[in-house]
Amino acid sequence: MPLTLAALGEENIIRRIGGNAEVRAHLQNLGFVPGSTVTVVSSMSGNLIVRIKEARVAVSKEMAQKIFV
């Protein structure tokens, strides 16, 4: 399921990253790699704040739909 459907506060494991090569590279630079854990901290209008690798990152709804957990 895409990250946009993940429950708040629940730890999820990233299964795969979708999108074109540029989008995948950008997300990997932010720490979104398959096998790592991600937790949705906050959601506002579909945009998310997530905790990944001990950091908080803001992700747009469009980007979050390309991250599958």
Question: pLDDT value at position 46?
Answer: 85
Read off the pTM: 0.90
Instruction: Tell me what the mean pLDDT of segment 44-61 comes to.
Output: 93
CATH of residue 56: 2.30.30.90
**Count of structural domains within the chain:** 1
Predicted confidence (pLDDT) at residue 55 exceeds the cutoff of 90: yes
Exposed/middle/buried for 50, CB within 10 Å: 0-12, 13-18, 19+?
buried
pLDDT digits (tens, 9 = 90+) for 10-22: 999 999 999 999 9
Q: Print the domain residue range for 8.
A: 3-68
pLDDT class of 43 with cuts at 50, 70, 90: very high
Question: pLDDT value at position 33?
Answer: 95
